[in-house]
């Protein structure tokens, strides 16, 4: 799961009738529904964590704090398929936060009561260029080409982990769901460009895209009174 990949990797398409994936750097996983995609992402995250722990006795997971990733973290707390996730040997880092630690507090309230992670192994965002190297970084992609919080206007009250540090991560997961996001990706040039997501890639490890034409909200059943 952690092999280096500097060229476009193999497509992992669920159904042969699916449309052609966009031309992207790294490896690509495609599912027809957001629910299936998130199940697949969870399974691969679990495998990566177990592999890193076997090799180094700990797993360093970094996440962008956005609505999409926050909902995925909540999903991990109740998804029976990933209950064996090794939270007790995981360090969880934030890639963005406010200077008053609002995102850290919300993440702590999700993880600490339910996962088994030690709060001492949770870390807020910091802007150091030479900070710890992450094993795995998860960022979602927006229709405007943002990656995580990169691309949104950064206020003085916010802290972002620098791009160069993110790109030193061994495994970078880019979660791209929804038709608007797919349209943006179809138009990207492979060379680094003006959109923030075009600068995100693992320097010496794996960059893996997780694509779905739908979002969880698209698939939610309408409320019936």
Residue ranges per domain, the chain?
34-218
**Residue 144: other Cβ atoms inside 10 A:** 13
Label the pairing between strands 90-94 and 136-140: unpaired
pLDDT of 224 reads: 58
pLDDT, one tens digit for every residue, the chain (225 residues): 433 333 444 445 444 345 678 889 999 999 999 999 999 999 999 999 999 999 999 999 999 999 999 999 999 999 998 989 999 999 999 999 999 999 999 999 999 999 999 999 999 999 999 989 999 999 999 999 999 999 877 788 899 999 999 999 999 999 999 999 999 999 886 545 689 999 999 999 999 999 999 999 998 876 555
The pairing of beta strand 122-123 with beta strand 171-177:
unpaired
Between CA 222 and CA 225 the distance in angstroms is: 10
Rounded to whole angstroms, how far apart are CA atoms 178 and 163?
25
SS3 202: coil
Q: What is the CATH number of domain 34-218?
A: 3.40.50.1360
pLDDT at 83: 85
Supply angle C-alpha 138, 195, 187, rounded to 5. Answer: 100
Distance CA 225, CA 207 (A): 44
Could you tell me the pTM of the whole model? 0.89
Coil/strand/helix, residue 112: helix
- CB-CB neighbours of 153 under 10 Å: 6
SS3 12: strand
The pLDDT, as a whole number, for residue 192 is 53
CA distance 200 to 146: 10
How far does Cα 167 stand from its chain's mean position?
Answer: 13
């Amino acid at each position: 799961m952690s092999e280096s990949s500097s060229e476009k990797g193999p497509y992992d398409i669920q159904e042969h009738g699916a449309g052609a994936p966009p031309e992207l750097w790294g490896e690509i996983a495609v599912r027809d529904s957001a629910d299936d995609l998130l199940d697949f992402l969870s399974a691969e995250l679990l495998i990566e964590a177990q592999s890193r722990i076997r090799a180094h006795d700990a797993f360093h997971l970094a996440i962008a704090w956005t609505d999409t990733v926050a909902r995925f973290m909540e999903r991990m707390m109740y998804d029976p398929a990933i209950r064996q996730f090794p939270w007790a040997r995981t360090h969880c880092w934030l890639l963005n936060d406010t200077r008053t630690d609002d995102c850290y507090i919300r993440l702590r309230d999700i993880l600490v009561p339910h996962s088994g992670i030690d709060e001492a192994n949770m870390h807020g965002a910091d802007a150091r260029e030479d900070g710890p190297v992450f094993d795995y970084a998860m960022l979602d992609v927006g229709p405007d080409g943002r990656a995580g919080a990169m691309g949104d206007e950064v206020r003085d009250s916010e802290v972002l982990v620098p791009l160069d540090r993110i790109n030193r991560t061994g495994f970078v997961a880019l979660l791209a769901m929804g038709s608007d996001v797919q349209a943006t990706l179809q138009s990207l040039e492979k060379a680094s460009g003006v959109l923030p997501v075009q600068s995100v890639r693992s320097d010496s490890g794996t960059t893996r895209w997780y694509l779905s034409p739908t979002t969880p909200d698209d698939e939610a059943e309408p409320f019936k009174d």
